[in-house]
Amino acid sequence: MAVKLIDIKRTYSGVGMCLELLADSKEDTLPTLIADVPGLTGAGSITPGSICYTPALDMCIMGNNGQWGAWV
């Protein structure tokens, strides 16, 4: 997986975290669980409002349904 943590924007005790991530490209599989993010451990999911960028400045936002939206 080529997704890296940029920043933790907010934590929700035991439920999840709102994150800012960097992916190598739009083809990377984006994580939905905290444990899938390199450098993080624990239970919970990546919460709505989390953002993932690429070096080409593509952007993707985690929706309320727990799924990453389309790249813009």
Tokens representing 11 are 């934590």
- Model pLDDT, residue 2: 85
Average pLDDT of adjacent 10-residue blocks, the chain of 72 residues = 90 90 96 94 93 97 97 96
What pLDDT was estimated at residue 1?
53
Amino acid type, 63: G
Q: Is 17 among the domain residues?
A: yes
Could you list the residue range(s) of the whole structural domain that residue 26 is in? 4-61
Side-chain half-sphere exposure of 53, counting CA atoms within 13 A: 8
CA 18 – CA 49 distance, rounded (Å): 6
- Total domains, the chain: 1
- Tell me the residue type at 36: D
Contact in structure between 8 and 39 (CB atoms under 8 Å): no
Residue 68 lies in a domain: no
Whether the pTM exceeds 0.85: the reply is yes
